[in-house]
Structure 1
Amino acid sequence: MGYSNWSDAAYQSRQGYRQQTQQTAFTYDQQVRATGIVQIHDQMNPFGKMRESRDSDQHPDSVAIAVLFDVTGSMGSVPRVLQTKLGKLMRVLVQRGYVAHPQILFGAIGDANCDKIPLQIGQFESGLEMDDDLGKIYLEGGGGGQVHETYELGLYFMARHTAMDCYDRRGHKGYLFTIGDEKPYPAVRRSQVQHLIGDHLLLRISTEALVAEVQKRYEYFHIIPTNTSHGSSAEVQARWRTLLGERVLLLDDEAAVCETIALAIGLCEGTLDSLDTAGQDMQSAGYDPGATAVAMTALTRYAASRPSTPAVITGVLPAIKQALPDGRLI
């Protein structure tokens, strides 16, 4: 629900303890592999659930940010990168003023045609609970080899099973980032929606229709890591381009995924004037200059497609000496 507060000191303490004790942040994944009992964590189960981003006394102007990543095959490194850079992501969003009150949801996507746990969705959180949610994800590493994953199931959930005060109260869109190197299926299947989410649909819904529905309430981007199994595929890239145009971000190094998310939000919020000023902001938050450069490259086409912002004239207006009857000033 996003009612707690982020503590960078507490997060760093957690990370330090994990390093000292050689413990993984993905404790549930470790548990599943140790026991052989493959089932979704109760708190990541989307069946019959709504995920909510709500204002509170601590966060009066909350902004919902959802990150859903493919956990099949070669994409398994992405959640680990997100977890290790979570502190820096929060630091640049809050300390550099991109978003004063971010509430972040993490989720995982697989292939409902062959995976045991193809959809995992956490809650919108403002504090260390978002790190906890990452630790509850099972990194299945499956997929069926057909260069498709059921991203459309994640889009369906975000379109119809999320509520955000930023949009509902203030008309401010939330943010959705999906991350993956394969194509979505052409439509969401009714049987999969019923089995995994609990809704009863009369008809299949096309992926195009779901994207349009999501875009009504979210600034939606899809990130494709290009050095994974299918990330460099022209066919994969073209499919996503038909859905999202310049909001498809080609990332040459998945280690720069947090930088890419932060810069995209900064551009949309208008708190980052342009990519030209991004380097200093990111380095001030502790990001690696190389990763920042990769993120800036991924966002170049999107940044160029944005309308230019009119210059703001500053200074003191001269005193008004006289007004004519028709309202003109002299």
Structure 2
Amino acid sequence: MGGSTWNSSDWDSFSAKTNTQSTAQVFTQRGMPPHLNPLGVRMRESRDSAANPESHALVVGVDVTGSMGKLADALVRKGLGVLVEELLARRPVKNPHIMCMGVGDANGDSAPLQVTQFEADIRIAEQLSEIWLEGKGGGNGGESYHLAWYFAARHTSIDCFEKRKKKGYLFTVGDENCHKVLSRSQVKRVFGEDIERDLTSEELLTMASRSYHVFHLLVEESGTYDSNVKANWTKLLGERALPLSDHTKLAELIVSTIQVNEGASVADAVKSWSGDTSVVVARGLNGLKPAGAAGTGLVRF
């Protein structure tokens, strides 16, 4: 997928409509749409095309449990436009192909993972608005962000890596811990697959990291977020666990994270934004270094 190009006028029309609507009017689903269900999906593909000759895969998985539905809402109203248009203007990577995910809790949610196609045009926003904001989760100390890692590792095929050995980007966004284990029964229920044993979050991260640069944005505004959540994510991801002090700026932080990971300095990335945005980006980038830089404390897959 992803054979078309971004048109700013299409986004302007889409945004003009959503900005006059409530969250319930934008996200009208009352159950998981079949085309977003990962059950039985063999592969989501990001392929080069005449319109996108050097496609680069980008996955954004947002928590849709409890109050975190505001993340998808912020993206669909403004964030996606910022994300795509700033990536196209700054060009840290060429021809972005974007997949959105809704992430919940495999321990109890009916739809713990929802996945769009990789797209390069307004269909990114259209498919995001079809995600079901289930709004459950909570009460067990974590969410199943590692479902996004499993799907990316096992069920995506991306030309940027397969043809050019350039890893895609995978961002999850939320305020909770990542559950430590993805069980065999959960994999069977969510994906319809039989695996030999349970998988730890560390194993799933390693799997996804073979073809993706993996990051997590920690939403600091939530009452669920605390120092223990930060410590657990830092232990798992190191500097790639990025604090997000304002959820409405998640697109800007993603853009500059990609810039820095592709070689730009943190100082230059921060200076490229103004006002409150630069403050949020500066806090988020924290000690981030480009991929392969020495002294990061991370194993680069």
The normalised TM-score by structure 2 is 0.91
Question: What secondary structure, in the 3-state scheme, does the structure 2 residue paired with 1:267 have?
Answer: helix
Indicate yes or no: 2:234 matched with 1:241: yes
Question: What secondary structure, in the 3-state scheme, does the structure 1 residue paired with 2:231 have?
Answer: helix
1:164-214, Cα deviation, whole Å (9 max, x unpaired) = 000001100000001111112221111111111111111111111111111
Distance in 1 between the 2:291 and 2:84 partners?
Answer: 27
Match among 27, 30, 55 for residue 29 of structure 1: 27
Residue range with higher mean Cα deviation, 197-206 or 164-173: 197-206
1:149-170, Cα deviation, whole Å (9 max, x unpaired) = 1122221111111110000011
1:10-41, Cα deviation, whole Å (9 max, x unpaired) = 1012212344xx33577673242xxxxxx311
Please tell me the root mean square deviation across aligned C-alpha atoms, in Å: 1.9
Which residue of structure 1 lines up, in the alignment, with residue 72 of structure 2? 79
Which residue of structure 1 lines up, in the alignment, with residue 245 of structure 2? 252
Distance in 2 between the 1:52 and 1:27 partners?
Answer: 30
Counterpart of 1:298 in structure 2: which amino acid? Answer: G
Match among 250, 260, 266 for residue 267 of structure 1: 260
Residue range with higher mean Cα deviation, 170-179 or 41-50: 41-50
Distance in 2 between the 1:253 and 1:77 partners?
Answer: 11
Q: CA deviation at 1:278?
A: 2.3
Residue range with higher mean Cα deviation, 178-187 or 52-61: 178-187
Distance in 2 between the 1:9 and 1:143 partners?
Answer: 37
Q: Contact 2:29–2:132 (CA<8 Å) still a contact in 1? A: no
Distance in 2 between the 1:234 and 1:140 partners?
Answer: 27
Distance in 1 between the 2:218 and 2:24 partners?
Answer: 23
Which residue of structure 2 lines up, in the alignment, with residue 286 of structure 1? none
Match among 24, 33, 37 for residue 41 of structure 1: 33
Match among 151, 157, 162 for residue 145 of structure 2: 151
Question: What secondary structure, in the 3-state scheme, does the structure 1 residue paired with 2:58 have?
Answer: strand
Q: CA deviation at 1:303?
A: 3.6
Question: What secondary structure, in the 3-state scheme, does the structure 2 residue paired with 1:69 have?
Answer: strand
Distance in 1 between the 2:80 and 2:63 partners?
Answer: 18
Match among 59, 63, 66 for residue 52 of structure 2: 59
Match among 262, 270, 278 for residue 292 of structure 1: 278
Q: CA deviation at 1:42?
A: 1.7
Which residue of structure 1 lines up, in the alignment, with residue 203 of structure 2? 209
Q: CA deviation at 1:275?
A: 2.3
**Structure showing greater Rg:** 1
Which residue of structure 2 lines up, in the alignment, with residue 116 of structure 1? 110
Q: Which ranges of structure 2 fall in alignment gaps of 5 or more residues? A: 295-301
Distance in 2 between the 1:12 and 1:25 partners?
Answer: 18
Counterpart of 1:89 in structure 2: which amino acid? Answer: L
Q: Contact 1:44–1:122 (CA<8 Å) still a contact in 2? A: yes
Distance in 1 between the 2:149 and 2:290 partners?
Answer: 26
Indicate yes or no: 2:268 matched with 1:277: yes
Counterpart of 2:14 in structure 1: which amino acid? Answer: R
Residue range with higher mean Cα deviation, 89-98 or 213-222: 89-98
Question: What secondary structure, in the 3-state scheme, does the structure 2 residue paired with 1:136 have?
Answer: coil
Counterpart of 1:261 in structure 2: which amino acid? Answer: I
Counterpart of 1:243 in structure 2: which amino acid? Answer: L
Distance in 1 between the 2:102 and 2:251 partners?
Answer: 16
Question: What secondary structure, in the 3-state scheme, does the structure 1 residue paired with 2:59 have?
Answer: strand
Distance in 2 between the 1:16 and 1:226 partners?
Answer: 29
Which residue of structure 1 lines up, in the alignment, with residue 14 of structure 2? 14
Distance in 2 between the 1:104 and 1:25 partners?
Answer: 22
Q: CA deviation at 1:101?
A: 0.2
Q: Contact 2:216–2:240 (CA<8 Å) still a contact in 1? A: yes
Which residue of structure 2 lines up, in the alignment, with residue 311 of structure 1? none
Distance in 2 between the 1:108 and 1:140 partners?
Answer: 9
The percentage of aligned residue pairs carrying the same residue is 37
Q: CA deviation at 1:7?
A: 0.6
Pick closer, same or farther for the CA change 1:53–1:26 going to 2, 3 Å.
farther
Pick closer, same or farther for the CA change 1:180–1:234 going to 2, 3 Å.
same
Q: Which ranges of structure 1 fall in alignment gaps of 5 or more residues? A: 33-38, 284-288, 309-330
Q: CA deviation at 1:94?
A: 0.5
Distance in 2 between the 1:269 and 1:122 partners?
Answer: 26
The normalised TM-score by structure 1 is 0.83
Distance in 2 between the 1:41 and 1:246 partners?
Answer: 35
Q: CA deviation at 1:253?
A: 1.3
Q: Contact 2:261–2:290 (CA<8 Å) still a contact in 1? A: no
Q: CA deviation at 1:300?
A: 2.1
Question: What secondary structure, in the 3-state scheme, does the structure 2 residue paired with 1:266 have?
Answer: helix
